[in-house]
Amino acid sequence: MKAAQITKYSKVIEAQVNEVPVPDIQDHEVLIKVKAAAINPLEMLIMTGSVKLIQDYSFPLTIGNELAGVVEKVGKKVTGFSVGDDVYTRLPIEKIGAIAEYAAVAASAIALMPKNLSYEEAAAVALTGLTAYQGLHEELNVQAGKTIFIPGGSGSFGQMAVPLAKRLGLKVIVSGNAESRDRTMQLGADQYLDYATQNYEELLSNVDYVIDTLGPKEFKKELSILKRGGRLLSLRTGPNKRFAKDRKFPFWKQTLFSLAGAGYDRAAKKQGIEYRFIFVRADGTQLRAITQIVEANQIVPALHPQRFTIEQVNEALKLVATGRPKGKVMITF
Protein backbone atom coordinates (compact mmCIF):
# COMPACT_ATOMS: atom_id res chain seq x y z
CA MET A 1 0.00 0.00 0.00
CA LYS A 2 1.01 3.65 -0.37
CA ALA A 3 1.78 5.69 2.74
CA ALA A 4 3.04 9.26 3.26
CA GLN A 5 6.05 9.00 5.55
CA ILE A 6 8.92 10.95 7.08
CA THR A 7 12.27 9.49 8.15
CA LYS A 8 13.31 12.23 10.62
CA TYR A 9 12.14 15.47 12.20
CA SER A 10 12.94 18.39 9.93
CA LYS A 11 12.11 22.06 9.43
CA VAL A 12 11.54 21.18 5.77
CA ILE A 13 7.88 20.16 5.53
CA GLU A 14 8.12 17.26 3.12
CA ALA A 15 6.96 13.64 3.10
CA GLN A 16 7.79 10.70 0.85
CA VAL A 17 5.17 8.39 -0.62
CA ASN A 18 6.42 4.86 0.01
CA GLU A 19 5.17 1.34 -0.69
CA VAL A 20 4.77 -0.42 2.65
CA PRO A 21 2.96 -3.58 3.81
CA VAL A 22 -0.71 -3.36 4.80
CA PRO A 23 -0.56 -3.23 8.63
CA ASP A 24 -1.47 -6.27 10.71
CA ILE A 25 -4.11 -5.61 13.33
CA GLN A 26 -4.03 -6.54 17.00
CA ASP A 27 -7.02 -8.08 18.76
CA HIS A 28 -8.36 -4.67 19.88
CA GLU A 29 -7.95 -2.98 16.50
CA VAL A 30 -9.76 -2.70 13.18
CA LEU A 31 -8.22 -2.35 9.74
CA ILE A 32 -9.67 0.65 7.90
CA LYS A 33 -9.54 1.12 4.14
CA VAL A 34 -8.97 4.87 4.07
CA LYS A 35 -11.28 6.93 1.87
CA ALA A 36 -10.22 10.40 3.04
CA ALA A 37 -7.59 11.84 5.39
CA ALA A 38 -7.32 15.43 6.58
CA ILE A 39 -4.22 17.59 6.87
CA ASN A 40 -4.00 19.81 9.94
CA PRO A 41 -1.48 22.27 11.40
CA LEU A 42 -0.74 19.42 13.83
CA GLU A 43 1.07 17.65 10.98
CA MET A 44 3.62 20.48 10.86
CA LEU A 45 4.17 20.30 14.63
CA ILE A 46 4.78 16.56 14.44
CA MET A 47 6.98 16.68 11.33
CA THR A 48 9.24 19.41 12.75
CA GLY A 49 9.56 17.69 16.14
CA SER A 50 7.83 20.56 17.91
CA VAL A 51 5.71 18.18 20.01
CA LYS A 52 8.28 15.44 20.60
CA LEU A 53 8.30 16.17 24.34
CA ILE A 54 4.59 15.37 24.35
CA GLN A 55 4.86 12.45 21.91
CA ASP A 56 8.12 11.26 20.37
CA TYR A 57 7.99 8.93 17.36
CA SER A 58 10.17 6.25 15.83
CA PHE A 59 10.90 6.32 12.09
CA PRO A 60 9.87 5.85 9.38
CA LEU A 61 6.63 7.49 10.50
CA THR A 62 3.39 7.45 8.51
CA ILE A 63 1.84 10.87 9.05
CA GLY A 64 -1.80 11.94 9.41
CA ASN A 65 -4.10 12.25 12.41
CA GLU A 66 -7.71 11.95 11.20
CA LEU A 67 -9.48 9.88 8.58
CA ALA A 68 -12.72 8.34 7.41
CA GLY A 69 -13.08 5.02 5.66
CA VAL A 70 -14.51 1.51 5.60
CA VAL A 71 -13.82 -1.29 8.08
CA GLU A 72 -11.93 -4.00 6.20
CA LYS A 73 -11.07 -6.37 9.07
CA VAL A 74 -12.01 -6.63 12.75
CA GLY A 75 -9.80 -7.82 15.63
CA LYS A 76 -10.83 -10.80 17.77
CA LYS A 77 -11.73 -8.69 20.83
CA VAL A 78 -13.58 -5.94 18.95
CA THR A 79 -17.33 -5.57 19.43
CA GLY A 80 -19.67 -2.98 17.96
CA PHE A 81 -18.04 -2.78 14.53
CA SER A 82 -18.36 -4.99 11.46
CA VAL A 83 -16.68 -5.30 8.09
CA GLY A 84 -18.20 -2.72 5.74
CA ASP A 85 -18.99 -0.10 8.42
CA ASP A 86 -18.31 3.53 7.49
CA VAL A 87 -16.22 4.96 10.32
CA TYR A 88 -14.18 8.03 11.24
CA THR A 89 -11.50 8.73 13.81
CA ARG A 90 -8.86 10.95 15.31
CA LEU A 91 -6.11 8.33 15.58
CA PRO A 92 -4.47 7.71 18.98
CA ILE A 93 -1.55 10.14 19.17
CA GLU A 94 0.93 7.37 19.93
CA LYS A 95 -0.03 5.52 16.73
CA ILE A 96 -0.90 7.94 13.94
CA GLY A 97 -0.81 7.17 10.20
CA ALA A 98 -3.97 8.42 8.49
CA ILE A 99 -2.37 9.37 5.16
CA ALA A 100 -2.14 5.85 3.84
CA GLU A 101 -4.34 3.43 1.92
CA TYR A 102 -4.95 1.39 5.08
CA ALA A 103 -4.68 2.10 8.80
CA ALA A 104 -4.82 -0.17 11.87
CA VAL A 105 -6.72 1.73 14.57
CA ALA A 106 -7.83 0.85 18.10
CA ALA A 107 -11.59 0.24 18.11
CA SER A 108 -11.87 2.50 21.18
CA ALA A 109 -10.84 5.46 18.99
CA ILE A 110 -13.39 5.11 16.18
CA ALA A 111 -17.09 5.79 15.67
CA LEU A 112 -19.64 5.26 12.93
CA MET A 113 -19.69 8.19 10.52
CA PRO A 114 -22.43 10.84 10.78
CA LYS A 115 -25.10 9.91 8.24
CA ASN A 116 -25.25 13.41 6.76
CA LEU A 117 -21.55 13.56 5.85
CA SER A 118 -19.37 12.26 3.02
CA TYR A 119 -16.05 10.54 3.78
CA GLU A 120 -14.20 13.83 3.21
CA GLU A 121 -16.54 15.78 5.47
CA ALA A 122 -16.43 13.14 8.22
CA ALA A 123 -12.63 13.08 8.18
CA ALA A 124 -12.68 16.86 8.64
CA VAL A 125 -14.80 16.63 11.80
CA ALA A 126 -12.96 14.16 14.03
CA LEU A 127 -10.00 16.17 15.34
CA THR A 128 -11.69 19.56 15.62
CA GLY A 129 -14.84 17.99 17.08
CA LEU A 130 -12.89 16.22 19.81
CA THR A 131 -10.80 19.33 20.50
CA ALA A 132 -13.97 21.37 21.00
CA TYR A 133 -15.66 18.64 23.07
CA GLN A 134 -12.70 18.06 25.39
CA GLY A 135 -11.97 21.78 25.64
CA LEU A 136 -15.50 22.72 26.69
CA HIS A 137 -16.26 19.73 28.92
CA GLU A 138 -12.92 18.80 30.48
CA GLU A 139 -10.61 21.82 30.38
CA LEU A 140 -13.05 24.71 30.80
CA ASN A 141 -15.82 22.77 32.57
CA VAL A 142 -18.24 25.34 31.18
CA GLN A 143 -21.47 26.36 32.87
CA ALA A 144 -24.67 27.35 31.09
CA GLY A 145 -25.44 31.06 30.96
CA LYS A 146 -21.80 32.17 30.81
CA THR A 147 -19.94 33.78 27.91
CA ILE A 148 -17.23 32.29 25.73
CA PHE A 149 -15.09 34.09 23.16
CA ILE A 150 -13.28 32.26 20.35
CA PRO A 151 -10.78 34.57 18.60
CA GLY A 152 -10.06 33.23 15.13
CA GLY A 153 -13.08 30.97 15.49
CA SER A 154 -14.31 31.28 11.90
CA GLY A 155 -12.28 28.28 10.70
CA SER A 156 -12.69 24.53 11.02
CA PHE A 157 -12.39 24.54 14.83
CA GLY A 158 -15.15 27.10 15.20
CA GLN A 159 -17.45 25.06 12.96
CA MET A 160 -17.56 22.45 15.71
CA ALA A 161 -16.97 24.61 18.79
CA VAL A 162 -19.83 27.06 18.16
CA PRO A 163 -22.71 24.54 17.99
CA LEU A 164 -21.20 22.52 20.86
CA ALA A 165 -20.96 25.63 23.02
CA LYS A 166 -24.53 26.68 22.18
CA ARG A 167 -25.76 23.20 23.06
CA LEU A 168 -24.16 23.68 26.50
CA GLY A 169 -26.07 26.95 27.02
CA LEU A 170 -23.26 29.45 26.49
CA LYS A 171 -23.34 32.89 24.93
CA VAL A 172 -20.88 32.54 22.05
CA ILE A 173 -18.79 35.38 20.57
CA VAL A 174 -16.47 34.74 17.62
CA SER A 175 -13.96 36.84 15.71
CA GLY A 176 -12.85 36.04 12.19
CA ASN A 177 -12.86 37.17 8.59
CA ALA A 178 -15.81 38.96 7.01
CA GLU A 179 -16.67 36.18 4.54
CA SER A 180 -17.21 33.63 7.36
CA ARG A 181 -19.66 35.79 9.29
CA ASP A 182 -22.95 34.41 7.91
CA ARG A 183 -21.87 30.78 8.17
CA THR A 184 -20.70 31.24 11.77
CA MET A 185 -23.88 33.03 12.80
CA GLN A 186 -25.96 30.25 11.23
CA LEU A 187 -24.11 27.77 13.47
CA GLY A 188 -25.48 29.68 16.47
CA ALA A 189 -22.94 32.39 17.36
CA ASP A 190 -24.52 35.27 19.27
CA GLN A 191 -22.00 37.89 18.16
CA TYR A 192 -19.42 38.06 15.38
CA LEU A 193 -16.49 40.48 15.18
CA ASP A 194 -14.66 41.18 11.93
CA TYR A 195 -11.00 41.13 12.95
CA ALA A 196 -10.07 43.51 10.12
CA THR A 197 -12.32 46.33 11.35
CA GLN A 198 -13.10 45.53 15.01
CA ASN A 199 -10.66 45.19 17.92
CA TYR A 200 -12.10 42.68 20.37
CA GLU A 201 -9.93 44.09 23.18
CA GLU A 202 -11.85 47.36 22.94
CA LEU A 203 -15.28 45.78 22.57
CA LEU A 204 -15.31 42.89 25.05
CA SER A 205 -14.90 42.62 28.83
CA ASN A 206 -15.91 40.30 31.70
CA VAL A 207 -15.82 37.23 29.48
CA ASP A 208 -15.90 33.90 31.38
CA TYR A 209 -13.98 31.70 28.95
CA VAL A 210 -11.65 32.17 25.99
CA ILE A 211 -10.53 29.43 23.60
CA ASP A 212 -7.42 30.71 21.83
CA THR A 213 -6.77 29.49 18.28
CA LEU A 214 -4.25 32.19 17.35
CA GLY A 215 -1.23 31.67 19.58
CA PRO A 216 1.18 33.65 21.80
CA LYS A 217 0.82 37.05 20.11
CA GLU A 218 -2.80 37.29 21.31
CA PHE A 219 -2.19 36.06 24.88
CA LYS A 220 -2.16 39.43 26.68
CA LYS A 221 -5.16 40.72 24.72
CA GLU A 222 -7.11 37.57 25.57
CA LEU A 223 -6.27 37.87 29.26
CA SER A 224 -7.42 41.51 29.26
CA ILE A 225 -11.03 40.68 28.34
CA LEU A 226 -11.49 37.85 30.89
CA LYS A 227 -13.08 38.40 34.29
CA ARG A 228 -11.25 37.33 37.46
CA GLY A 229 -11.82 33.60 37.95
CA GLY A 230 -12.09 33.09 34.18
CA ARG A 231 -10.27 30.48 32.14
CA LEU A 232 -8.12 30.79 29.04
CA LEU A 233 -7.65 27.59 27.04
CA SER A 234 -5.14 27.63 24.18
CA LEU A 235 -4.77 25.30 21.22
CA ARG A 236 -1.59 27.08 20.14
CA THR A 237 0.26 29.10 22.78
CA GLY A 238 2.09 26.27 24.56
CA PRO A 239 1.94 23.68 27.33
CA ASN A 240 2.50 24.48 31.00
CA LYS A 241 2.87 22.79 34.40
CA ARG A 242 -0.84 21.90 34.68
CA PHE A 243 -0.75 20.22 31.25
CA ALA A 244 2.20 18.03 32.28
CA LYS A 245 0.70 17.12 35.67
CA ASP A 246 -2.70 16.26 34.19
CA ARG A 247 -0.98 13.85 31.79
CA LYS A 248 1.13 12.35 34.59
CA PHE A 249 4.37 13.02 32.72
CA PRO A 250 7.59 12.04 34.54
CA PHE A 251 9.07 14.61 36.90
CA TRP A 252 11.75 15.78 34.46
CA LYS A 253 9.11 16.53 31.83
CA GLN A 254 6.92 18.31 34.35
CA THR A 255 9.90 20.49 35.23
CA LEU A 256 10.54 21.34 31.57
CA PHE A 257 6.90 22.20 30.90
CA SER A 258 6.76 24.25 34.12
CA LEU A 259 9.69 26.33 32.89
CA ALA A 260 8.29 26.63 29.35
CA GLY A 261 4.88 27.80 30.54
CA ALA A 262 5.98 29.84 33.56
CA GLY A 263 5.56 33.21 31.87
CA TYR A 264 2.03 32.42 30.74
CA ASP A 265 1.08 31.03 34.16
CA ARG A 266 2.46 34.08 35.97
CA ALA A 267 0.67 36.55 33.70
CA ALA A 268 -2.63 34.68 34.07
CA LYS A 269 -2.34 34.27 37.84
CA LYS A 270 -1.63 37.99 38.24
CA GLN A 271 -5.08 38.69 36.78
CA GLY A 272 -6.82 35.88 38.66
CA ILE A 273 -7.20 33.74 35.53
CA GLU A 274 -6.41 30.08 34.98
CA TYR A 275 -4.37 29.22 31.87
CA ARG A 276 -4.71 25.80 30.25
CA PHE A 277 -3.34 24.13 27.12
CA ILE A 278 -4.99 21.28 25.21
CA PHE A 279 -3.53 18.51 23.08
CA VAL A 280 -6.51 16.50 21.90
CA ARG A 281 -6.67 12.75 22.43
CA ALA A 282 -8.56 9.99 20.63
CA ASP A 283 -11.91 8.97 22.15
CA GLY A 284 -14.52 6.92 20.31
CA THR A 285 -17.19 7.44 22.99
CA GLN A 286 -16.89 11.21 22.64
CA LEU A 287 -16.92 10.86 18.84
CA ARG A 288 -20.30 9.12 19.09
CA ALA A 289 -21.63 12.11 21.05
CA ILE A 290 -20.20 14.41 18.37
CA THR A 291 -21.91 12.30 15.67
CA GLN A 292 -25.27 12.96 17.34
CA ILE A 293 -24.61 16.71 17.47
CA VAL A 294 -23.46 16.79 13.82
CA GLU A 295 -26.57 14.91 12.68
CA ALA A 296 -29.00 16.89 14.87
CA ASN A 297 -27.61 20.25 13.71
CA GLN A 298 -26.87 19.09 10.15
CA ILE A 299 -23.33 20.42 10.54
CA VAL A 300 -21.27 20.16 7.35
CA PRO A 301 -17.65 21.32 7.66
CA ALA A 302 -16.14 23.59 5.03
CA LEU A 303 -13.58 21.85 2.82
CA HIS A 304 -10.91 23.41 0.66
CA PRO A 305 -12.29 23.11 -2.92
CA GLN A 306 -9.24 21.29 -4.32
CA ARG A 307 -8.83 17.61 -3.43
CA PHE A 308 -5.37 16.06 -3.33
CA THR A 309 -4.18 12.51 -4.00
CA ILE A 310 -1.52 10.91 -1.83
CA GLU A 311 1.00 11.62 -4.59
CA GLN A 312 0.20 15.34 -4.09
CA VAL A 313 0.69 15.19 -0.31
CA ASN A 314 3.51 17.76 -0.31
CA GLU A 315 1.39 20.23 -2.24
CA ALA A 316 -1.36 19.77 0.36
CA LEU A 317 1.09 20.08 3.27
CA LYS A 318 2.48 23.29 1.79
CA LEU A 319 -1.02 24.76 1.46
CA VAL A 320 -1.71 24.14 5.15
CA ALA A 321 1.76 25.27 6.28
CA THR A 322 2.02 28.48 4.29
CA GLY A 323 -1.29 29.15 2.59
CA ARG A 324 -4.79 30.13 3.54
CA PRO A 325 -6.96 27.12 2.77
CA LYS A 326 -10.69 27.74 2.38
CA GLY A 327 -11.64 24.92 4.72
CA LYS A 328 -10.06 21.61 5.70
CA VAL A 329 -7.48 20.25 3.24
CA MET A 330 -8.21 16.67 2.22
CA ILE A 331 -6.27 13.74 0.78
CA THR A 332 -8.70 11.40 -1.00
CA PHE A 333 -8.23 7.75 -1.97
Element (H, E) at 82: none
Q: Give the per-residue pLDDT at 181.
A: 94
Collapsed DSSP state (helix, strand, coil) of residue 236: coil
**Alpha carbons 152 and 53: distance in angstroms, whole number:** 27
Question: pLDDT tens digits, residue range 187-237?
Answer: 899 999 999 999 999 999 999 999 999 999 999 999 999 999 999 999 989
pLDDT in tens, 165-181: 999 999 999 999 998 99
| Euclidean distance between CA atoms 32 and 57, whole angstroms | 22
Q: Round the average pLDDT of the chain to a whole number and report it.
A: 95
Please write the tens of the pLDDT for every residue from 135-191. Answer: 999 999 999 999 999 999 988 899 899 999 999 999 999 999 998 999 899 989 999
Res. 48 pLDDT band, cuts 50 70 90: very high
Residue 5 has pLDDT above 80, yes or no: yes
15 pLDDT more than 80: yes
What angle, 0 to 180 degrees and rounded to 10, lies between the N-to-C axes of helices 156-167 and 126-134? 40
pTM of the model: 0.94
Q: What is the mean pLDDT of residues 29-44?
A: 96
Mean pLDDT computed over 298-319: 95
The per-residue pLDDT for 159 is 86
pLDDT at 60 exceeding the cut of 80: yes
Inform me whether the pLDDT recorded for 326 exceeds 90: no
Rounded-to-integer distance, Cα 318 and Cα 333, Å: 19
Task: Examine the pLDDT at 323 and tell me if it is beyond 80.
Answer: no
Residue 283: per-residue pLDDT: 98
Find out whether 291 and 90 touch, Cβ atoms under 8 Å: no
Q: How far apart are CA 52 and CA 92, in angstroms?
A: 15
- For every residue of 11-37, DSSP letters joined together read SS---EEEE-PPPP--TTEEEEEEEEE
Asked which of 64-68, 90-94, 243-247 is least confident by mean pLDDT, the reply is 243-247
- Report whether pLDDT(327) > 90: no
In this model, does residue 324 exceed pLDDT 80?
Answer: no
Helix H or strand E segment including 251: helix 251-270
pLDDT of 111-126, one tens digit each?
999 999 999 999 999 9
Confidence (pLDDT) at 123: 97
pLDDT tens track for 237-276: 999 999 999 999 999 999 999 999 999 999 999 999 999 9
